[in-house]
Structure 1
Amino acid sequence: MSLDFAKLPKAVASRLAKLGIRQPFDLVLHLPLRYEDETHLYTIADAPMGVPVMVEGTVEHADITFRPRRQLVARISDGSSELFVRLLHFYPNQQQQLAEGKRVRLLGEIRRGFFGEEMVHPKVRSVGSETPLAEALTPIYPTVNGLAQPPLRKLVNQALNHCVLDDTLPEVLRHDLGLMPFDAAVRLLHQPTPDTAQRALSERTHAAWLRLKFDELLAQQLSMRLAYRRRREQTAPSLRATGLLAQQLLASLPFGLTGAQTKVLAEIRHDLASTHPMQRLLQGDVGAGKTIVAALAALDAIEAGHQAALMAPTEILAEQHYKKLSQWLAPLGIEVVWLAGSLKPAAKAAAIARVESGEAWLAVGTHALFQESVSFARLGLAIVDEQHRFGVHQRLALRGKGGSPHQLMMSATPIPRTLAMSFYADLDVSVIDELPPGRTPIKTRLVNDARREEMVEQVRKVCSEGRQVYWVCPLIEESEALELQTAIDTHVALSESLPEYRVGLVHGRLKPAEKAEVMAAFARNEVQVLVATTVIEVGVDVPNATLMVIEHAERMGLAQLHQLRGRVGRGALESSCILLYSAPLGEVAKQRLKVIFETTDGFLIAREDLRIRGPGEFLGARQSGVPMLRFADLERDTVLLEQARDVAGTLLDHHPAVVEAHLDRWLSGREELLKA
């Protein structure tokens, strides 16, 4: 049976596209969320309560009642007993369907109600005395408004008959792995027979699910390994340096490198000296010292005669990098320019000209760095901080500024092992796994926000000792629906409660210059309390700030809480973080707060964050560019992931035709984004 997408009505094609379905095979991989059992018919007398069941009978009586509200009530009998059907919202065709004397089949849960045993809003189907039962479980698919289940099922069935479902895996390999044939697996998932183990289906542990999960993980591994191999075929400038500039910088600093920093710097230098473009992810917990490592890498690039660029996601963070790098590099005679959207046209044009001429060796900025008007004389190294917060096209655009420059991506959100194996399989990963000496552990306290006044007194005590405080609020403006305390109201309240101290305010809607002015005043201790939204999540470094109060901590993600907490404890002074929460707490909020209270280990926190939120949110708004896993679960399917990783290497080395067929089936041209 043919299935021509070009001939589908525009409205249907549009709704399918919203589901990510643009070609027939996408329908094959559009798997059910759950199933309804219309293969078994109970008598009303024998039907169990509280679980979905199907019964059949004749409508004995039907009426519209108005107490306690307007509703359609019908009494159904099958000779063994009777039950009532209640529809709180109904249409004329449903009245006709439930008219007296009509024979109907009902699917729903029976429970005790006002009239007796009843079904509320069951699935109702008109039948004759000989209407056959379904031979397979009825699949319920993810869908969108305007696309009902029956036409979607019809399209899926057409796709199953139209598409080639041959195995992409060699038979010997499939057999050794103990996997079902692809054809059998996908047909079973769309049309399971009544004797299929329904628990295994719903928990996605059935052999058919395992086959689909493995194939999905294999496609991801293959695509990322291919991206890695293609990159190895490209040429990049060999940035081999004597390390003289780096030695001069280190000699000028009041601290030395930790063992972990020395190790990752050696890994980066090895890559920079290669003629293949580096694509390395530098991970380090909050305060582990990633910036100095990036600065030393940039100096090696500069010493080798090439420019470097550092891009950060927010102006606050980018400007902090600019100031710190200028302070470090200017004494070495190296010009650092600042490029951000907030610059006035003349200043921006001057900065772009110095980058283009090559006079500026290091450019620091936000996404303004990859605008079309910016071109580098000889870009050798692109550094991207908090890389998961950029869209993949943005990262590609920056790298495209210099042909094939080396790329160093930094993240203060440690990536759990399974996530790194899966979503970062095409990257080399370096980890700074120790903190610099002198960092004091941060004490974390959970406090009910009913004790807010006590916290204000705690702030007063800290300020009286000459130290400073962050007070973080999640929203800028009042939202009645969420009933969240706002940064603006909190700033007013703290200013009134602490008249002897200066209270500053920073949020995302301030102009960059205003934001920078307040932050600079806080850094100089001219502002003692800084009320802020989560714009201070990354990059702000004020060692004298030793207390952080976080409002509505129960509404924030673990990684965000950990990042925020890392803004204190940046000196030798004892530091604390108070997490204010509103009771009662939901189960997920309890889990998050328990983890953040019990540990400061970024990797453990990241692993728990992945478990609670899943990889989609963990990677940041699904902007990573990597096709998100639809079927596999990184926590539960680690064994399948490891198998897929091993098989990917074998297939790439010995079965290129299999690789091409498998990627065509699963990615269908979407692998371009994986190059970032």
Structure 2
Amino acid sequence: MPPSTIKALPKSNESKLAKLGLRTDMDLVLHLPMRYEDETQVVTIREACLRGGHVSQVEGVVTKNEISFKPRKQLIVTIADETGELNLRFMNYYGSQVRQLAEGVRVRARAELKHGFFGAEMVHPGYKVIIEGAPLPSELTPVYPSGVGLSQAILRREIAAAMKRIDWHDTLPLALRAQMQLVDFEPAVRLLHYPPQEIDEGALADRSHPAWTRMKFDELLAQQLSLKRAQRARRAKGAPLLRAVGALSEAFLEILPFQLTGAQARVLKEIRADLRNPYPMQRLLQGDVGSGKTIVAALAAAQAIDSGYQAALMAPTEILADQHFRKIAGWLEPLGVKVAWLTGSLKKKAKIEATALVESGAAQLVIGTHALIQDSVNFAKLGLVIVDEQHRFGVGQRLTLRNKGSNGKTPHQLMMSATPIPRTLAMTYYADLEVSVIDELPPGRSPIVTRAIDQNRRDEVIERVHAAALEGRQVYWVCPLIEESEALQLQTATDTHATLAEALPDLQVGLVHGRMKAAEKQEVMDAFTANEVQVLVATTVIEVGVDVPNASLMVIEHAERFGLSQLHQLRGRVGRGSAASVCLLLYQSPLGGIAKQRLMTMRETTDGFEIARRDLEIRGPGEFLGARQSGEAMLRFADLENDGWLVDQAREVAQSLLENPHAANAAIVEAHLARWLGGKEDFLKV
């Protein structure tokens, strides 16, 4: 890429622009408008009044300028033309504005016109002081995403200057542009920054205009090239050969009290094939809540141990890590496997002992939390890394564990997620990974009935909880906050615990939340598992991993405050036994539009993939990706719901460019990545 394209910005406003990720000229040029304002025409004040409720641009002379103190301090400027007069009202203003909008000054103002108590007015309009006869713009005015201290005027000036400095050469060859029916890069960018007055504003607003299509394709192509190139770079690394499916794996399958489902058997076959390769596996194992991912992960660990290597399983919370430890150690330790437990809450002596087992190789499987990635933890012969709920870990954390291999070998990596990822999202953000899907639940799982109930019926819900407990069933009651927040007015876990303990004196009511010490949390969870506690009041620490088959009723307090995938994860804590299970979503009315959509979705389906698809529609991709993005948006322009067809095309072009690595293609790849990603490529690679 020619140096001018990635030239650093001038010092003025540099730090403010950097906060928006604008560090080079090309960053500025690709900082495209989020919307436009039409300042190409002026209407009279009378016309604007007749159109009341619409955005209009008027022009007039200031006839009055006063600071009013009723009902609060504000600046009111009256302007007039030959057809009438209009108030411009500013609740927040600077002294310079008072002087700027002095009587006799000619002003153009643009905003929605409203009819207030004192007549026609515009509140906080955009305005310009002009001379009589000043020409109107011939293009729509761009409005850019901005930040503190960065006015639209500054952004427009910096972008215009950057557009004079960059190299405009097109990174895509003419033949490819013709084949894909793409407009050229420079005219597309210039049109988006300065759209002509006669443009189709609808196509501009919904980003279906050919200029937007070019930007989306370029962005998707850069992402696909980067991820696929990262995948190739990984495949160039050496990895342990985990070829043996031996005595341990066979004995493990024999002692299981159930048969693997068809989906479990299929994904296990895919993983076993990967582990036999001389390059590192990078596979995402996704499946709905309760689909049996843990058993597949344990069988993958058994293959590593059969092959003479260690395996490590890292989970984001101690509750989840403990669930894995108890379950997997219960399977493997009777077969002679030493399973070590390593978390931050271990006493010093226990931690030293566990670390020694890992370092000597005596521990064949290590299960724990972030403690696994501490510098003091060294593996004798690490062959397989399993990361559960991988989106909860940062890029650096996952990379640190993978770097604990030995003899220059990179361990194989299996990442698990109980948040099913829609196909388009997986293709786009996980193009560098192989994806395995467990798409069926084990037999015998009871269906979960979901109901949404207004908070006003809370007493009825408590009666239902009491009845379920008297029948021998257990209950989760989930609250979103630990301590009171006046702004949100949410019921707290501690208050709810006290209320339920008083309302249900014949039952044991437990409490677990994130601020308790690990040992305290574990003591409560053990009591709940043993049915010594019938009702467990909890925050979202029980969202994943908790497995108590006797729990068949869940109440989620202020369900309207949770995201869809979180509601689905929480609901998955019940329905694990044979009893019919119920999830009650307590909500505070009135409900907003998005909250209604979420609760309706939860009532209509228990299919995690359908829920994930709807969640993507409602909230966008961020929730599914977690720390993978490392703070930088990977897609700014393409919309996965509407632009799936472009994802497919960008993927094919990326594959073609990388599979035919002659000099011309290599130059195209380098130029395109430099333009679109610059130095931001690394965070895509983990």
Calculate the TM-score normalised by the size of structure 2.
Answer: 0.95
Q: CA separation in 2, counterparts of 1:291 and 1:562?
A: 18
Checking the alignment, whether the CA contact within 8 Å between 2:395 and 2:627 is kept in structure 1 is no
1:210/1:456 Cα in 2 relative to 1: closer, same or farther (>3 Å)?
A: same
Equivalence map 1:552-631=2 (5 Å)? 552-620=558-626, 623=629, 627-631=633-637
Does structure 1 residue 646 correspond to structure 2 residue 649? no
Match of 2:166 among 142, 163, 167: 163
Residue 340 of structure 1: aligned partner: 343
Does structure 1 residue 660 correspond to structure 2 residue 678? no
Residue 22 of structure 1: aligned partner: 23
Identity over aligned pairs, percent: 62
AA matched with 1:214: F
Q: CA separation in 1, counterparts of 2:480 and 2:112?
A: 42
Checking the alignment, whether the CA contact within 8 Å between 1:625 and 1:673 is kept in structure 2 is no
1:389/1:583 Cα in 2 relative to 1: closer, same or farther (>3 Å)?
A: same
1:85, distance to aligned residue in structure 2 (A): 2.4
Does structure 1 residue 85 correspond to structure 2 residue 88? yes
Q: CA separation in 1, counterparts of 2:83 and 2:495?
A: 66
Checking the alignment, whether the CA contact within 8 Å between 1:389 and 1:620 is kept in structure 2 is yes
Equivalence map 1:455-494=2 (5 Å)? 455-494=461-500
Match of 1:173 among 152, 165, 176: 176
AA matched with 2:35: R
1:656, distance to aligned residue in structure 2 (A): 1.7
Secondary structure, in 3 states, of the residue corresponding to 1:661? Answer: helix
1:81/1:476 Cα in 2 relative to 1: closer, same or farther (>3 Å)?
A: same
Residue 303 of structure 1: aligned partner: 306
Match of 1:319 among 319, 322, 329: 322
Secondary structure, in 3 states, of the residue corresponding to 2:142? Answer: strand
Checking the alignment, whether the CA contact within 8 Å between 1:625 and 1:674 is kept in structure 2 is no
1:252, distance to aligned residue in structure 2 (A): 1.4
Q: CA separation in 2, counterparts of 1:622 and 1:400?
A: 17
Q: CA separation in 2, counterparts of 1:592 and 1:273?
A: 43
Q: CA separation in 2, counterparts of 1:267 and 1:509?
A: 40
Residue 415 of structure 1: aligned partner: 421
AA matched with 1:567: R
Secondary structure, in 3 states, of the residue corresponding to 2:436? Answer: strand
Structure 1 residues without counterparts, runs of 5 or longer = none
Does structure 1 residue 262 correspond to structure 2 residue 265? yes
1:665, distance to aligned residue in structure 2 (A): 0.7
Secondary structure, in 3 states, of the residue corresponding to 1:46? Answer: helix
Q: CA separation in 2, counterparts of 1:538 and 1:367?
A: 17
AA matched with 1:17: A
Equivalence map 1:243-392=2 (5 Å)? 243-392=246-395
| RMSD (CA atoms) | 1.7
Structure 2 residues without counterparts, runs of 5 or longer = none
Checking the alignment, whether the CA contact within 8 Å between 2:628 and 2:683 is kept in structure 1 is no
Match of 2:137 among 134, 143, 147: 134
1:555, distance to aligned residue in structure 2 (A): 0.8
Q: CA separation in 2, counterparts of 1:554 and 1:622?
A: 27
Secondary structure, in 3 states, of the residue corresponding to 1:175? Answer: helix
Alpha-carbon deviations, 1:446-467, whole Å to 9, x = none? 1111111111111111111112
Match of 2:236 among 228, 233, 237: 233
Residue 225 of structure 2: aligned partner: 222
1:441, distance to aligned residue in structure 2 (A): 0.6
Does structure 1 residue 535 correspond to structure 2 residue 536? no
Checking the alignment, whether the CA contact within 8 Å between 1:391 and 1:625 is kept in structure 2 is no
1:631, distance to aligned residue in structure 2 (A): 0.8
1:7, distance to aligned residue in structure 2 (A): 4.4
Checking the alignment, whether the CA contact within 8 Å between 1:281 and 1:428 is kept in structure 2 is yes
Alpha-carbon deviations, 1:80-130, whole Å to 9, x = none? 333232333333332333322222222222222333322222223221123
Residue 441 of structure 2: aligned partner: 435
1:422/1:624 Cα in 2 relative to 1: closer, same or farther (>3 Å)?
A: farther
Secondary structure, in 3 states, of the residue corresponding to 2:626? Answer: coil
1:623, distance to aligned residue in structure 2 (A): 4.7
Q: CA separation in 2, counterparts of 1:224 and 1:367?
A: 26
Q: CA separation in 2, counterparts of 1:453 and 1:30?
A: 53
Q: CA separation in 2, counterparts of 1:624 and 1:411?
A: 18
Checking the alignment, whether the CA contact within 8 Å between 1:609 and 1:618 is kept in structure 2 is no
AA matched with 1:446: A
Checking the alignment, whether the CA contact within 8 Å between 2:514 and 2:541 is kept in structure 1 is yes
Alpha-carbon deviations, 1:20-66, whole Å to 9, x = none? 11111110111112122222222333344333222222223333444
Q: CA separation in 2, counterparts of 1:30 and 1:590?
A: 34
Checking the alignment, whether the CA contact within 8 Å between 1:3 and 1:159 is kept in structure 2 is no
1:108/1:3 Cα in 2 relative to 1: closer, same or farther (>3 Å)?
A: farther
1:225, distance to aligned residue in structure 2 (A): 0.8
Q: CA separation in 2, counterparts of 1:307 and 1:642?
A: 39
Checking the alignment, whether the CA contact within 8 Å between 1:616 and 1:622 is kept in structure 2 is no
Alpha-carbon deviations, 1:389-410, whole Å to 9, x = none? 1111111111001141111111
Secondary structure, in 3 states, of the residue corresponding to 2:290? Answer: coil
Secondary structure, in 3 states, of the residue corresponding to 2:491? Answer: coil
Q: CA separation in 1, counterparts of 2:102 and 2:678?
A: 50
1:68, distance to aligned residue in structure 2 (A): 4.3
Does structure 1 residue 242 correspond to structure 2 residue 248? no
1:4/1:267 Cα in 2 relative to 1: closer, same or farther (>3 Å)?
A: closer
Q: CA separation in 1, counterparts of 2:113 and 2:501?
A: 59
1:233/1:533 Cα in 2 relative to 1: closer, same or farther (>3 Å)?
A: same
1:343, distance to aligned residue in structure 2 (A): 0.7
Alpha-carbon deviations, 1:325-376, whole Å to 9, x = none? 1111111111000111101111111111111111100010011111111111
Return 389-398 or 228-237, whichever deviates more.
228-237
Secondary structure, in 3 states, of the residue corresponding to 1:670? Answer: coil
